[in-house]
Each structure stands twice: as C-alpha cells, then as structure tokens.
Chains A and B, each alone.
Chain A
C-alpha cells in the first residue's frame, strides 16, 4: 500500500488539459495508492483561492483518498497568510505546497511572509512541501534554509535534490531535524544514498502523478523498489513515514 505525497490534480496547465479525476483515481487503484496528497498546478500562477477551493471539492468527493495541500502566493504578504489560515481551518487540508520556481520568487525575497506562512503551518501541525532542485528560485539550499528559519515547521524537499542536488539533499535532511525528503525524481542508485545519509525515516514517496504522463507513477515506484533498500525500509517510504508526517493516527481522514 502506498501514500503518494506528491501529485497534481488540476483541470489544466498552461493551456493543456490534465488527467481527469476519474483517471487519476483509477491509476491510484491500479498501483495500490491508497491516498494521494493533491496539489494545484495552474494555481501557482494566480487565483490561489479558487484553486484551493477546487482541491477541497475534489477531496470532499473522495475523502478517504485525496488529501488537498493549499497553495498561496507569498508575494501577497498578509493576504497570503490569511488565505492559508482560511484553508487550514478546513480540516480537509493537511499540508501546504509551494513551487517557488513556477511562483517566480526566491523565498529569501519574501522572507518575512514565508516565516509567517511556515509558522501558520506549524501551528496547524501540517507539512509544507516545496519543489526543489531547480535554480534560481528553488535550489535545494534555498528550500533547506526555510527549515532553519522556522524549526517548528516540517519542510519537505519535494524532489530530494532532483538531480544535481542529491548529495546536498541527503546531507541537509540528515542535519536538519525538520527537513524531509520526497522521492519524486531521484533514481534507484541515489535512493540508498539518501536513506544512508538522511535516514530512511525522513523519506516519503512521490510520483508527480497528474502533472504529466501516467507512467511516471509506476516508474517512480520502480525507482524505490529497485533501490536495494530492505523491504521494511521500502514499506516506511511507501506508507508509514507519510502516516506520521500527515499525523493520520491522531487525525484520520
């Protein structure tokens, strides 16, 4: 059984229709994904509130399967904080997603607001996942800095360094108690290094399902299965670490 910590479920992205909700759910069933954390895509560019409401509506239709993560625009200052408070007051929302590359802002450029947003997430005890691995606004170092700014916040590197930042991602997640790794991108030969460096308890599975072709899901599953990790470790990555990060034992879906 799998919890997919990194997916996108939206109508479209820059003019292209995305995977319909039913197809998304069918794929979850086919690959034994019990729960998916769902993010926007189009909402990274504007009208976050509408996209957050859309995510909540999808979760309302599938309350045991889809877990919405809210997105806000940190360039809007307190308006963004208010929007995040609005979303997290809704018990359906269990996390926050930022994509500072697509949102076109380095976290340090809006540090005051980012700290408020992270404190808000920490107050609600929900994780905050960021795209990482891409300069100039989403390097792994830029995202790890956020974990230092607000130690009470649970920060997740959404791609564990993606490609060029793998070593840094492992080192930083090993060093910072509140920095976690989502395995959307690292290949089999890198996953064992991340486990050895950061600790397997810091790792969750992600596939980017919904963002592009459906085959990303089985390919990401295979990366983990072929990593050479012990089955018990794989089971933690696929499921139980996500249960802990989402606090599902205390707050079941």
Chain B
C-alpha cells in the first residue's frame, strides 16, 4: 500500500488544492491513501472549517486535523469532535499558529492528542517557532508518544537531522520537502523504520519524488517501509 503521509488541502497564498484534484494526482501516481491536513486560514484560525474539509473524504484521504492551541478549551472540544469523526492525528504549525513547541500553551492539546494515541506532526524548518530541535525537545519530553517532524526541517536545518533522529527514538521524519539525499543521510544513521514518505502536495509533487526515489538503490524492504508500512503502522490504517 502506497501512503502519502503529508499532503495539504485548501488554500494558502499561491497554494491551492481541492480534494478531487488530489485524488486525481494520487490515481495518476498509484498512491493508495494520503494523510491530509488543512492550510491557510483553515489551519491558523478557522480550524473547524479546515478540519471538516479534511474529515469529509472517505477512506482514501485520512485526516490530520489541527487546532490553534491559543483557543484553549474550544480547541480541546474541537479535537474531541475530530476524534469522534475519525481523524488519525494532529498537525501543529508553531510558526503560523504562534507558539513555541515547548511553551505550556501547547501542553493540553498535545496531551489530549496523545490520549487518543494519535501521532502529532509539527511543521519544522522555520527558524525560532518551528525549530526542528524544539520539536525534538517535545519528543524527548514524551518518549512514549509519536512525534513527526513535518517537512524535515526544510530548508536550512538539514544538518541537524542525522544526529537528532539518532538521539530521539520516538521522532519520525516526513520527507515531503527534503532533497532525497537528506533523507538518505537519516536512513544511513537510523534505518528506515521512522521515515514517512510525504508528497508535500501541492507545494511539492509526486512526480519529482518518484523520480528522485529511482536514483537511489534502496532495498525493497526499505522502500516498502518508507512508502507505506511505517505510515500504516503509526496511523493505524487498516
């Protein structure tokens, strides 16, 4: 099963992707399922709209929902609603949603997501708020939970990747914006069990990723782990 662990739906600046178009691209590239999260205003402030957008898509698109932690109790209520509606994980964007990953404001949201046994993906790569190492600290604070470094620290935190992933065993890597050799540098250090193929659609795209994959000599087992098995396991996909 080929699973895309990070695609985006909605509209943000010049990026725009509707459900039907994503399905068309998935069909073209034989992608079975995609984990989708909101973007733009539906990620930052209008969480319910964004969550409804990603929840409403049947079995091929699975919802990585989001709430802004500053919304307090209403954010927690929204997460509970999403859980009841079949969401598979939580996405947080510290830079866009305006909090530091280790600030107390994030704790209630994180701990509720963990109580659902959800993986939590953080946007990483933007200096200060979306610092890859700050997300590493969250993972260290909750060693029994699954934390995903969304975008893998792209662009200029690539040099932190191999050692951080070596040290923090509950941290997973989303490959969606990375150059392929940055992903390989992590695989060389820790193996493939914590690597999740993400397309980054509509920012990046399937065709570029699949061409890049062909240029590496990865074993069948590694490809299988990255392209689906790991996602199936951590998002509990049947």
Contacts and interface: CB of A to CB of B under 8 A. Distances in A.
A105 interface: no
A185 B126 CA distance: 14
B22 to A, nearest CB: 12
A129 interface: no
Given A133-B156, A163-B125, A185-B155, A216 B14 contact: no
A96 B184 CA distance: 33
B212 A215 contact: yes
A193 B211 CA distance: 23
A54 interface: no
B220 interface: no
B81 interface: no
Contacts of A135: 127
A219 B208 contact: yes
A91 interface: no
A159 to B, nearest CB: 8
A45 interface: no
Nearest to A193: B14
A111 B150 CA distance: 37
Contact of A222 (B126, B156, B212): B212
A223 B154 CA distance: 15
A162 interface: yes
Interface string B159-173: 000000000000000
Given A134-B156, A218-B211, A222-B212, A188 B127 contact: no
Nearest to B181: A213
A236 to B, nearest CB: 20
Given A189-B204, A189-B205, A222-B211, A216 B179 contact: yes
A185 B178 CA distance: 10
A115 interface: no
Given A134-B156, A164-B125, A219 B203 contact: no
Contacts of A167: 13-14
A185 B154 CA distance: 10
Contacts of B155: 133-134, 159, 162-164, 185
A143 to B, nearest CB: 15
Interface in B138-188: 154-156, 177, 179-181, 184
A189 B95 CA distance: 21
Nearest to A228: B205
B207 interface: yes
Interface string B208-236: 10011001100000000000000000000
Nearest to B126: A164
Contacts of A185: 155
A187 interface: yes
Interface in A167-223: 167, 185, 187-190, 192-193, 196, 212-213, 215-216, 218-219, 222-223
Contact of B181 (A134, A188, A193, A212): A212
Contacts of A187: 177, 200, 203-205, 208
23 contacts: A134-B127, A134-B156, A163-B125, A163-B154, A164-B126, A167-B13, A189-B200, A189-B201, A189-B204, A192-B14, A193-B14, A196-B14, A212-B181, A213-B180, A216-B179, A218-B211, A218-B212, A219-B179, A219-B180, A219-B208, A219-B212, A222-B211, A226-B207
* Top-10 shortest CB links A-B: A213-B181, A193-B14, A163-B155, A187-B204, A189-B203, A222-B208, A162-B155, A189-B202, A134-B156, A188-B205
